[in-house]
Chain A
Amino acid sequence: MAFLHAAGSKVSSLKERRSLLPYLLLAPGIIWLFTFFVLPIVNLARTSTQTPIANGDTGSYEQTYRFANYIDAFIDNKEQFSRSFIYAFLATVLALAIAYPLAYGIAFKSGKYKNLLLVLVVAPFFTSFLLRTIAWKQILGEEGPVIAILRGIQIIGDNTSLTASAFAVVTGMTYNFLPFMTLPLYASLERIDPRTMEAAGDLYANAFTTFRKVTVPLSMPGVVAGTLLTFIPAAGDYVNAAILGNPNTKMLGNVIESRFFKIVDYPTAAALSFTLMAAILILVTIYIRKAGTEELV
């Protein structure tokens, strides 16, 4: 390598051009992200402390640095706020429970069909997200198979329905965010050297102990990535709650959406957006610390 460096220093203009090259490559994309991601977020922060102009039109606001907007917004919507996090948590746990054995089976038990099965895991998500959510409304609906079976074996009564409920919202969320859980899990399981598991077996660990002491710890990066990729969009989602829920299952996303469009209350929408983001960031930081995989981010 040393001779390469020597050759490089001889042609100093080339070297200068080279040191500039990465910035030229970065510039267009970074400028785009700065203009259409960073600036809007800064602008949203400014909007969040505005108040309505006295005697002004609906939707006109002035900057008064009223930080109490955050407190008001939180107190008015604390139910939706906690609901967002409870639903997102339930959906993440359920998705993990469904995706882990699936990813495990694909990585270790499917031989030459591995790639085909992996495609099949992602395939359902080629149909529109909204069509799938509406399909759940039909599946869980009065005419659907699930309710007929559950009523048939008398788990639920004739007057109980499954749609327009928290159950339906969580089911839809679990389903819709499943690939975000399955793919990172598969990626980290697939990377495990099968010889580590054989070694555990040679050392008289039974199948369950091997799984618990070898497979699970080695797949932790996938678990962490998958839960984050599921939890973050789930906490901010409002489509599942809008289609599969009822007025008592509204999440924070529904409130932000209606504050924006129906009530044109931009400051409250902005304050709620920031509260949501801050809460997610805090939870994610704690989680990553606890999971002990800081190299991930």
Chain B
Amino acid sequence: MRLTWWFRKNLIRIYMVLGFTYLFVPVAYTFAFSFNNGGKSNLVWKGFTLSNWQNPCGAPDVCLALGNSIRVGLISTVAATILGTLIAFALGRHQFKGRSTTNTLIFLPMATPEVVLGASLLAMFLNLGINPGFWPVVIAHVMFCISFVVVTVKARIASLDPRLEQAAMDLYANEFETFRKITLPLVAPGIAGAALLAFSLSFDDFIITNFNSGTLTTFPKFVYVASARGIPAQANVIGSAMFFLALFIVIAGQLVNRRKAR
């Protein structure tokens, strides 16, 4: 009787523990197998080693692929963040004709399956005689990241208190000064969040990249191609390192925000 009572009282907590276990089992697997002494094929546990972490570029091409992913990610992030933020300001701070068409155009790429985005862009590049490769991938990544940047930054702009800007104007700041000293700093965390989102979407994209990359290898493409014959443990090292790096950035960002709030 007491046991069922305890069970009912803590049902949601028990459920959360199970849920988080489900979420983290594959991550734990990836992390554990980064220490596997498995040689070229990393499917079966063969013993503990630190050598993969000491030599993350040890497997052929893994760091080449990583470098390509980082380059594509950085360029796409900068371009998509600028283009998307400008659109977000237009939508969030101005009245204009064609607003609903703009909203539809922002929404549609997010509602289109990646395989369609990738295939359509490749078909156009081929028709124009442009070979798939580095720049087609960057173009594609900027395209699908813009919408996510717009949505993220627009949400931040919508949550601002308009009285802060009015107060600045009342204190004789002109429009530009108000924007630079009040609006932009307040929206900045939203822009930073959008840039992080864009980078992680770009870095992790496989389907659209696979269509438009030709012979260029990105990290996800490397993993996909390698998965047929066994992925080197170095890929797990890089995947785990990305996990801890991203976790660190997010938690550090939250701590900074909290300190600012005080």
Contacts and interface: CB of A to CB of B under 8 A. Distances in A.
Contact of B113 (A120, A127, A276): A276
B33 interface: yes
B109 interface: yes
By DSSP majority rule, is chain B's interface helix, strand, loop, or mixed? helix
A43 B235 CA distance: 37
Given A102-B16, A126-B246, A273-B120, A253 B113 contact: yes
A37 B12 contact: no
Given A40-B120, A119-B254, A123-B246, A175 B115 contact: no
Interface in A116-153: 117, 119-132, 134-136, 138-139, 141, 143
A19 to B, nearest CB: 7
B22 interface: yes
Interface string B207-248: 100110000000110011001000100011011101101110
Counting chain B CB atoms within 10 Å of each CB, which of A104, A124, A125 scores highest? A124
B68 interface: no
A121 to B, nearest CB: 7
A101 B15 contact: yes
A284 interface: yes
Nearest to A48: B123
A29 B84 contact: yes
Interface string B122-138: 11100100000000000
Contact of A260 (B86, B119, B147): B119
B7 interface: no
Nearest to B99: A22
Contacts of B250: 119, 122-123
B181 interface: no
Contacts of A238: 115, 207
Nearest to A33: B105
B89 interface: yes
A284 B247 contact: no
How many chain A residues sit at the interface, stated as a range, is 35 or more
Contacts of A269: 119
B206 interface: yes
Interface string A215-255: 00000000000001000110111110001000000001100
A6 interface: no
B178 interface: no
Nearest to A229: B110
Given A26-B87, A269-B119, A127 B30 contact: yes
A209 to B, nearest CB: 16
A47 interface: yes
A127 B82 CA distance: 26
A131 B113 contact: no
B59 interface: no
B43 interface: yes
B223 A273 contact: no
A101 B16 contact: yes
A291 interface: no
Interface in B103-125: 105-109, 111-117, 119-124
B171 interface: no
Given A101-B15, A123-B247, A127-B30, A44 B120 contact: yes
Contacts of B89: 25
A276 B113 CA distance: 8
Contacts of A105: 12-13, 15-16, 19
Q: Which 10 A-B pairs have the closest CB atoms?
A: A236-B113, A126-B246, A29-B83, A22-B94, A40-B120, A135-B26, A25-B90, A44-B120, A22-B96, A135-B29
